[in-house]
Amino acid sequence: LRRLTVPAIRARKQDGVTAEPIVMLTAYTARQAQLLDAHCDVLLVGDSLGQVIYGLPSTIPVTLEMMANHAAAVVRGSYHSVVVVDMPFGSYEQSPQQAFESATYLLKASNAAAVKLEGGAAMAETVAFLNQRGIPVMGHVGLTPQAVNVLGGYMARGRSDAEAQKIVDDSRALDEAGAFAIVVEGVVETIAIAATKAVSCPTIGIGGSAQCDGQVLVTEDMLGMFERVPRFVKRYENIADVIEAAVTRYADEVRTRTFPGPDQTYQPK
Ligand code: KIV
Ligand code: NA
């Protein structure tokens, strides 16, 4: 099981056709990466770790250091999937040079293969700048959580004609700038399909369409570990209930002095 490469992911879509959709999930820790790796093509160290791991109110406060540490753990815990790291808010928007400095820090610290950044046409120059200097970039359009203070919330995008057109135009600009894939998040399905048809690189949907060239979810969301989830999340399991039941039994056994039992205690020879 050799590690996949960025060009292999990009090449999943040939002349507008993707025979095998790209499977992507978020991972933040080494053990989580170990469990997901063989089933995925891409592991995303998402800045969603701000809410999911750190209990922050949004992704805005997430730092480069947080991303670098979790990315390094995910690379150590995987050997098959391409590992992509989110550029956190404030680390890339100012200029292509700032983005290059931040991206090199992330990739040197972690050995991840690529970065992801939010934004469309406004980020095209930066995407080309990084790509031409050895850093593959995944784009992210539609509902871009780092722009929550501009968008006013996490509602679906592309409901007006102007907004729908902008999402398609942004996707095209990223594609032309050399993005190897584009996450299309939280958009009306017809727009996800239009964006997918408009670009040569694969689109990866989350709250998009089954017709995107791949799908991504936040792992904790699809496993039922995180309490508040958007409508587009399908819960494949309810791990919170499993943990609740196990911890309830543990607490009972500690309080009744039935744990540890004979199997968990050492006796003299
Ligand atoms: O941070 C994240 O988890 C993401 C995915 C939801 C695409 O950006
Ligand atoms: Na993100």
Whether 237 is catalytic is no
Does the C-beta of 218 come closer than 6 Å to ligand 1?
yes
**What integer pLDDT is reported at residue 31 of this predicted model?**
98
**Residue (of 65, 66, 131) closest to 96 by Cα position:** 131
How far is Cα 80 from Cα 168, in angstroms, rounded to an integer?
A: 32
CB 24 within 8 A of CB 215: yes
Tens digits of residue pLDDT in 151-208:
999 999 999 999 999 999 999 999 999 999 999 999 999 999 999 999 999 999 999 9
Selected catalytic residue, list 20, 93, 163, 185: 185
Residue 57's φ and ψ, nearest 5 degrees, are -75, -20
Q: Which pair of structure tokens corresponds to residue 199?
A: 């670009």
* Helix extents (H) in the chain: 6-10, 30-36, 49-52, 64-76, 96-110, 124-131, 148-151, 161-177, 189-198, 219-222, 239-255
Positions in the chain short of pLDDT 70: 1
6-237: CATH, from 3.40.50.10470, 3.20.20.60, 3.40.50.300, 3.40.50.2300:
3.20.20.60
**What integer pLDDT is reported at residue 1 of this predicted model?**
58
**What integer pLDDT is reported at residue 210 of this predicted model?**
98
Position in ligand 1 atom list of the atom nearest CA 26: 3
The structure's pTM equals 0.97
Q: Which pair of structure tokens corresponds to residue 46?
A: 């998402």
Residue 225's φ and ψ, nearest 5 degrees, are -105, -20
**What integer pLDDT is reported at residue 189 of this predicted model?**
98
Does the C-beta of 183 come closer than 6 Å to ligand 1?
yes
Interface pTM, i.e. ipTM: 0.99
